[in-house]
């Protein structure tokens, strides 16, 4: 066995071999994989082998499409069979919400180039006559769906990797991983020690144990899962074509042909986590005992949907474990705080996602970044607040909701409230309807006494409508207050702080007492952050960005650390409020004498009442606004001070729903909607914040300058949309002159203007004020018109005045 290597991948399941193959494909051939037993010895060998593109996250769906298309290529490279059955598949809908979800997915697929379509009950009956179509509204047909041979596919990946120069060592068990002072790794195995520059944890069912060898906790948990294979059935054996896949969300089941019978698996509600205290090392090619009690209700439902099943004999039952992260998406990428340690874990659909995971990780390792936004599967989407006590209930919830409708406004209840600020009980007493962001409770809106304390999950306008409208009105007509606990905040100090910021940030670094807005770019010029930089002194800055991107941003800051600079994540050490609206200055003046001359984009320490604070004049809501930060221990006092002083000026609390409506009036973009690594500053208008004239070679400069010289084809624009009960959420196609030419990044209802608004990317050449377009919302073509004048404070006089 070789003892030095550039990369050592731990684990020979479908994910490990995919990472290995993609590394070779991108030019790294000095790579090896170690597997404690034979390849496929974790959850891979007993998978049902089904694959599909459907995923609520558009980038994940695109990567699933990539994975599926890869199998033919693997067969060609290796001459091995993946046992492919491209039989197509249907996802059924038996109620309005499920159908809405399929319509929304179909719409997204249009510009993704996926050839799916909606079919009605008659067509369902034609395609699969074994289905009882009673109560079905329709289905989404995807010709790419199918299944394969898990073992053949894993060996095909491994052979393709070996052709590319990789080494695969089986019966090599990793016992320890220790980091050398230079950041490289000693991987201690039963066959000796391997010295690797990089280590990849692809240990699947044992990912937790392998992570612990490096002192790391990865938030994933195995769940038991069961599928049944029937005896031969005439309804199947007499078919001329193979039976397509079926996902029946109402029955929490998936079904496909296996031999001349059927195979049906369930995501049952009475599900069970497996190996809560750790995966035993002696587990391997055995199955868990059959458990029909657990799936009794699911089977009964399946008998109604597919009556032939009731007469079918059971040929075999496959019951085994596989791992999930708290949100069901994989955990991929460089592990924050641990140099050269990469995660390829928590992949719950290895045959739909394994190829995409391998490609993205290999790009990250060999090129420093991925070609697209992988936030949905980035291991850094969970911070160091994550714990097994949080992971387990979330994983159970995710398993149970695997086939449920995912609504854009949905807030999942498990493991909550987890993290709260001192304002929690005060806001709760005022009728807060809570959401969660990065483990933290945030107010979505305030319900009035006669209103329910729960927002109805929906693709259409929800019951938060009236409250949101009230809160928006308060901000626009008087003054609103909300908490800014959910801003990511960083303290940058040291003699080289300014120089460092000039290199890390593309924008202007402000003078003392001033604030600036700045994009942060990757080397390829993609947006990896939109920051507010506040200069307290030349050696002391405060940065503000998205709360959910903390671990992602800290990982970047650490990667580009510099002597003479200290960056501290103070997101939870600082909290506070923003007050916004025409009366905001009056409220501030009532609690301090220090604020009268505070100009737009000024920042200054002040005492409000008896609370020392940092106040800066910026607003995400448009118009006049202040952001006020203080220590959490002083937050309640600050609240009482502002609240009491504010009553004379009409101060009302507002939540995230109102904030997202208010920002639409100004066409302000939001992180991971308009601003994400999928886009560049020139596409999104963020280039206006780039400091082209600054004397600093900031990261991404060359790429941004190239974009400036030859502007990219697409451009972010705003639209007014004619729609009666549903607004844009994101990724709806934009039709121009009868063809899909763009897609929405986000949208919603402007309660201030009384209009439905969409933001989206369209071809630069077509964009002109008043241009007619159509936006497809839930299957309906809605007339839209491009608008360029903001709906509030169009000349920014209030904001700057």
- Applying CB under 6 A, the residues found at the interface with ligand FAD are 10-16, 34-37, 41-44, 46-51, 173-174, 202-206, 210, 225, 227, 318, 320-322, 347-352
Radius of gyration of the CA atoms of the chain, in A: 27
Q: Which is nearer to ligand FAD, 12 or 333 (CB)?
A: 12
Whether 501 and 650 have beta carbons less than 8 Å apart is answered as no
What is the Cα–Cα distance from 546 to 395, expressed in whole angstroms?
25
Q: Which of 613, 466, 609, 616 shows the shortest CA–CA distance to 532?
A: 616
| CB-based contacts of 184, cutoff 8 Å, min separation 6 | 195, 196, 197, 340
Question: Could you give the angle at the alpha carbon of 692 between the alpha carbons of 686 and 693, nearest 5°?
Answer: 145
| Shortest separation between residue 10's beta carbon and ligand FAD, angstroms | 5
| Shortest separation between residue 374's beta carbon and ligand FAD, angstroms | 17
Q: Which is nearer to ligand FAD, 54 or 517 (CB)?
A: 54
Instruction: Give the helix/strand (H/E) hosting 466.
Output: helix 465-477
Q: Which is nearer to ligand FAD, 44 or 619 (CB)?
A: 44
| CB-based contacts of 341, cutoff 8 Å, min separation 6 | 179, 185, 198, 199, 201, 214, 216, 334, 335
| Shortest separation between residue 293's beta carbon and ligand FAD, angstroms | 17
The residue assigned the tokens 């474990």 is 321
CA distances from 201 to 7, 198, 454, 486 (A): 11, 10, 40, 31
| Shortest separation between residue 345's beta carbon and ligand FAD, angstroms | 7
| Shortest separation between residue 551's beta carbon and ligand FAD, angstroms | 22
Q: Which is nearer to ligand FAD, 266 or 735 (CB)?
A: 266
Q: Which is nearer to ligand FAD, 17 or 726 (CB)?
A: 17
Q: Which is nearer to ligand FAD, 36 or 752 (CB)?
A: 36
Q: Which is nearer to ligand FAD, 374 or 773 (CB)?
A: 374
| Shortest separation between residue 351's beta carbon and ligand FAD, angstroms | 3
| Shortest separation between residue 316's beta carbon and ligand FAD, angstroms | 11
Output DSSP code: residue 204. G
Distance of CA 505 to the CA centre of its chain: 24
Whether 146 and 86 have beta carbons less than 8 Å apart is answered as yes
What is the Cα–Cα distance from 434 to 441, expressed in whole angstroms?
6
Q: Which is nearer to ligand FAD, 89 or 646 (CB)?
A: 89
Whether 7 and 28 have beta carbons less than 8 Å apart is answered as yes
Whether 553 and 544 have beta carbons less than 8 Å apart is answered as no
Token readout for 401 is 């909701």
Whether 734 and 742 have beta carbons less than 8 Å apart is answered as yes
| Shortest separation between residue 212's beta carbon and ligand FAD, angstroms | 11
What is the Cα–Cα distance from 224 to 170, expressed in whole angstroms?
26
| Sheet order of strands, 479-483 included | 603-608, 611-616, 625-630, 575-580, 479-483, 651-653
Q: What is the DSSP string of 564-625?
A: T-EEEE-TTT-EEEEEESTTHHHHHHHH-SS-TT--TTBEEEEEETTEEEEEE---SSSSSE
| Shortest separation between residue 187's beta carbon and ligand FAD, angstroms | 9
- Start-to-end CA span in the chain (Å): 71
| Shortest separation between residue 149's beta carbon and ligand FAD, angstroms | 11
| Shortest separation between residue 470's beta carbon and ligand FAD, angstroms | 46
| Max CA distance (Å), the chain | 86
| Shortest separation between residue 295's beta carbon and ligand FAD, angstroms | 12
Q: Which is nearer to ligand FAD, 189 or 629 (CB)?
A: 189
């Amino acid at each position: 066995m070789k003892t030095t290597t550039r990369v050592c991948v731990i684990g020979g399941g479908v994910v490990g071999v995919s990472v290995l193959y993609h590394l070779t494909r991108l030019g790294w051939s000095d790579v090896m994989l170690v597997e404690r037993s034979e390849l496929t010895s974790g959850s891979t060998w007993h998978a049902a082998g089904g694959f599909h593109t459907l995923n609520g996250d558009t980038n994940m769906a695109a990567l699933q499409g990539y994975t599926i298309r890869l199998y033919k290529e693997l067969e060609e490279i290796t001459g091995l069979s993946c046992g492919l059955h491209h039989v197509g598949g249907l996802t059924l809908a038996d109620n309005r919400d499920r159908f809405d979800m399929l319509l929304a997915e179909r719409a997204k697929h249009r510009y993704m180039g996926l050839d799916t379509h909606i079919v009605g009950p008659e067509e369902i009956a034609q395609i699969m006559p074994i289905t009882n179509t009673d109560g079905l509204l329709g289905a989404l047909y995807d010709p790419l769906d199918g299944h394969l041979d898990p073992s053949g596919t894993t060996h095909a990946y491994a052979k393709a990797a070996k052709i590319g120069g990789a080494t695969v060592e089986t019966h090599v068990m990793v016992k320890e991983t220790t980091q050398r002072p230079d950041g490289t790794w000693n991987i201690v195995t039963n066959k000796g020690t391997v010295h690797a520059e990089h280590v990849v944890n692809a240990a699947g069912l044992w990912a937790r144990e392998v992570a612990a060898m490096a002192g790391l906790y990865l938030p994933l948990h195995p769940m038991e899962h069961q599928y049944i294979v029937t005896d031969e059935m005439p309804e199947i054996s007499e078919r001329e074509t193979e039976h397509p896949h079926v996902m029946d969300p109402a029955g929490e089941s998936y079904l496909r042909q296996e031999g001349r019978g059927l195979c049906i698996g369930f995501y049952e509600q009475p599900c069970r986590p497996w190996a809560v205290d750790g995966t035993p090392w002696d587990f391997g090619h055995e199955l868990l005992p059959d458990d029909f009690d657990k799936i009794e209700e699911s089977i009964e439902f399946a008998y109604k949907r597919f009556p032939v099943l009731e007469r079918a004999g059971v040929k075999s039952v496959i019951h085994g474990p596989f791992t999930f992260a708290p949100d069901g998406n994989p955990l991929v990428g460089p592990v924050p705080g641990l140099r050269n340690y990469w995660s390829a874990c928590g992949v719950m659909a290895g045959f739909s996602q394994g190829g995409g995971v391998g490609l993205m990780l290999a790009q990250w390792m060999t090129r420093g970044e991925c070609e697209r936004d992988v936030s949905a599967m980035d291991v850094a989407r969970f911070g160091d607040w994550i714990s097994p006590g949080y992971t387990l209930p979330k994983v159970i919830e995710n398993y149970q909701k695997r086939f449920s409708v995912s609504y854009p406004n949905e807030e999942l209840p498990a493991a909550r409230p987890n993290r709260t600020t001192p304002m929690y009980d005060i806001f709760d007493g005022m009728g807060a309807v809570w959401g969660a962001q990065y483990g933290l409770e945030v107010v979505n809106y305030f319900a009035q006494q006669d209103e329910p304390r729960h927002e109805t999950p929906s693709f259409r306008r929800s019951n938060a409508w009236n409250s949101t409208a009230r809160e928006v009105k308060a901000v626009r007509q008087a003054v609103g207050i909300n908490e800014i606990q959910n801003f990511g905040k960083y303290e940058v100090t040291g003699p080289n702080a300014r120089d460092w910021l000039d290199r890390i940030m593309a924008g202007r670094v402000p003078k003392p007492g001033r604030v600036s807005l700045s994009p942060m770019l990757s080397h390829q010029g993609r947006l990896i952050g939109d920051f507010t930089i506040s200069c307290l002194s030349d050696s002391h800055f405060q940065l503000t960005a998205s709360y959910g991107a903390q671990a992602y941003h800290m990982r970047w800051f650490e990667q580009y650390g510099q002597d003479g600079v200290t960056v501290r994540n103070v997101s939870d050490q600082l909290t506070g409020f923003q007050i916004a609206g025409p009366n905001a200055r009056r409220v501030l003046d009532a609690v301090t004498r220090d604020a009268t001359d505070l100009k737009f984009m000024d920042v200054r320490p002040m005492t409000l009442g008896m609370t020392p604070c940092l106040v800066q004049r910026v607003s995400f809501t448009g118009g006049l606004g202040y952001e006020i930060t203080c220590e959490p221990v002083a937050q309640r006092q600050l609240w009482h001070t502002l609240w009491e002083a504010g009553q004379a000026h009409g101060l009302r609390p507002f939540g995230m729903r109102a904030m997202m409506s208010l920002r639409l009036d100004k066409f302000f973009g939001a992180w991971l909607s308009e601003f994400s690594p999928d886009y560049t500053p020139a596409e999104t208008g963020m280039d206006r914040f780039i400091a082209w004239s600054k004397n600093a070679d900031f990261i991404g400069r060359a790429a941004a300058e190239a974009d400036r010289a030859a502007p990219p084809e697409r451009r972010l624009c705003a639209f007014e949309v004619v729609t009666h009960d549903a607004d844009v959420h994101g990724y709806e196609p934009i039709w121009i002159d009868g063809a899909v030419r763009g897609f929405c990044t986000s949208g919603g209802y402007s309660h201030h203007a009384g209009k439905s608004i969409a933001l989206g990317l369209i071809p630069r050449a077509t964009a002109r004020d008043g241009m007619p377009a159509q936006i497809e919302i839930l299957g309906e073509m809605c007339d839209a018109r491009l608008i360029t004048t903001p709906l509030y404070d169009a000349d920014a006089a209030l904001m700057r005045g």
